[in-house]
Structure 1
């Protein structure tokens, strides 16, 4: 399966790296280990690939020696500093509106997860409840536990920070098998009823909490942040020329380097027109080709059954030696050294 181009916000990445640093890890080294240049993380509206974040969870647990890092994430960071989505939620009048905006703007935080909310009417046995559910939509998300744990812990931490109350869910569901040790789950989410092997991952709240006011919400600031959020969401939903070019490179990279003229033709553009548009976007075809090769190489090197010679061929390099030199230029390591360190 070819890797997808779904992304996660730089703000979300920085939360993971901050938590790892709190546990003594070298955040910049962790970023580089998964192919992320630390300079990329300076742009609050920047994006990185979901598959890089999945690799980051694996590396962060190894570097910190803390298997429960994802569960602790929400309490180790300030969840209201993760970017424009947090600012939109901060200026919603009630918790019910917070949930509504969280579901609507989920892609800004992570394109690979869909968050939905549903009001469940009261029945003869219980009162009305509200279910906030998470659904995986990206094939690049392969580590379910850290993904679900971190999302729910950050959500709960944000809810508490927004309302100034230590609110808890009536029930917390996880769509993964029952862990051998659930003490951290109980501490982070409790008091709550924990359910594992669930059909979906979700927080079930008393519906009365939807009317809980958000502290310090400023109605006059809400439209400003929502406009910014809408602009970002629109950009994500309309693939940029750079992402389209990289997508074509991936689809055409079958043992030989895709030619610029071929990519331009597939995008129904002239070569000079494509070059001009890429220059206006602050990049070039060669830069995008290198970025794509680097991302694919890092992914392939984590597959133990693929030789570095095979990878060089798949990425369209004429000789393995050319791939080795290019990879060392990108990462500071040879492919073999990288595989030993991170695969």
Structure 2
């Protein structure tokens, strides 16, 4: 008997989009979700933890049902701005596109542990941006690959604004050449397209990489950069279940850190996550509140952060809710806490 093949799962944005569109086309979404062990309400979530084969097979089904040979490419615009949390916000505040790509590469493991994202400087200031699926170049299949590449380029174009246009000089994919590449050429803005490579990538010239980002905030960038660096997995990462859950909650705080997002990052169902927490005598809400309280103290102690920025980093859309929570955690307002802590630090400094 051959050994059972290990189930490989990935946090996917494409699967909810595909299931929603298949449902609109009359397909039984609940049945499709059950087939791959997905929640029945998957279309209502921005991401889902899905088997890699589910991404491939649902893409192929959607291509057939929707009669869309570029279903992955066409799904990319459905990803809303802000979907990548602190990594996206930090990248958008880099001075230029080269800096934005550098930040995205540095913190990509906060987004997806299965995909390798890298860059390589080329002659004349050009830059190659690549992503790959270790062990299987085809990874999530043709449509998943084209979706991922399109999402990256769309984010870059969104960052430079309407007054600039960014297009790669050359692109390459791991999958085989489809019968028609005209839509790929039109979207990516290049006729130089290669197939059957070991990775998926785009080559940009120096002029594209040096494009300034019009909405960049030089004062906000170091704050977001520091926040992202604090969220990188510990070395070594926690091995116990509660420690891993807390780590994933930290990463997702600025996006709200929902139980669905955390379960997907943990590669388990929401029901399993809640059961595991119950076995530990706690709940997701208690864990979320505890992580927020811990991070809130660290952020408030940093005088470079305004209280509005602290509220944002903790995932509060309403600053008043943050103020009430901080008072509950510490019996002090954030202003009182900051003044006391910074005053104590100042008193401990030796006289010059």
TM-score between both structures, scaled by the size of structure 2: 0.57
Determine which of 137, 148, 152 is the counterpart of 2:149.
152
Residues in 1 aligned to 2:92 and 2:28: alpha-carbon distance in whole angstroms: 31
Correspondence for 1:100: 102
| RMSD over aligned Cα atoms | 4.0
Correspondence for 1:181: 180
**Consecutive unaligned residues in structure 1, runs of 5 or more:** 123-127, 246-273, 284-343
Q: Is the 8 A contact 2:36 2:50 kept in 1?
A: no
Correspondence for 1:300: none
Cα pair distance change 1:7/1:150, threshold 3 Å: same
Q: Is the 8 A contact 1:74 1:154 kept in 2?
A: yes
Q: When the two structures are aligned, how many residues end up with a matched partner? A: 248
Residues in 2 aligned to 1:238 and 1:42: alpha-carbon distance in whole angstroms: 31
Q: Is the 8 A contact 2:34 2:40 kept in 1?
A: yes
Correspondence for 1:137: 134
Correspondence for 1:211: 210
**Consecutive unaligned residues in structure 2, runs of 5 or more:** 245-275, 286-352
Correspondence for 2:68: 66
Q: Is the 8 A contact 2:10 2:50 kept in 1?
A: yes
Cα pair distance change 1:25/1:212, threshold 3 Å: farther
Correspondence for 2:111: 109
How far the C-alpha of 1:216 sits from its partner, in A, is 1.0
Instruction: Say whether 1:3 aligns with 2:12.
Output: no
How far the C-alpha of 1:62 sits from its partner, in A, is 4.4
Q: Is the 8 A contact 1:87 1:225 kept in 2?
A: yes
Structure 2 residue matching 1:48: 3-state secondary structure: strand
How far the C-alpha of 1:211 sits from its partner, in A, is 1.8
How far the C-alpha of 1:25 sits from its partner, in A, is 6.9
Cα pair distance change 1:194/1:107, threshold 3 Å: same
Correspondence for 2:346: none
Q: Is the 8 A contact 1:160 1:167 kept in 2?
A: yes
Q: Is the 8 A contact 2:55 2:141 kept in 1?
A: no
Correspondence for 1:48: 49
Q: Is the 8 A contact 1:50 1:141 kept in 2?
A: no
How far the C-alpha of 1:109 sits from its partner, in A, is 2.9
How far the C-alpha of 1:23 sits from its partner, in A, is 7.4
How far the C-alpha of 1:105 sits from its partner, in A, is 2.2
Residues in 2 aligned to 1:278 and 1:163: alpha-carbon distance in whole angstroms: 47
Cα pair distance change 1:49/1:108, threshold 3 Å: farther
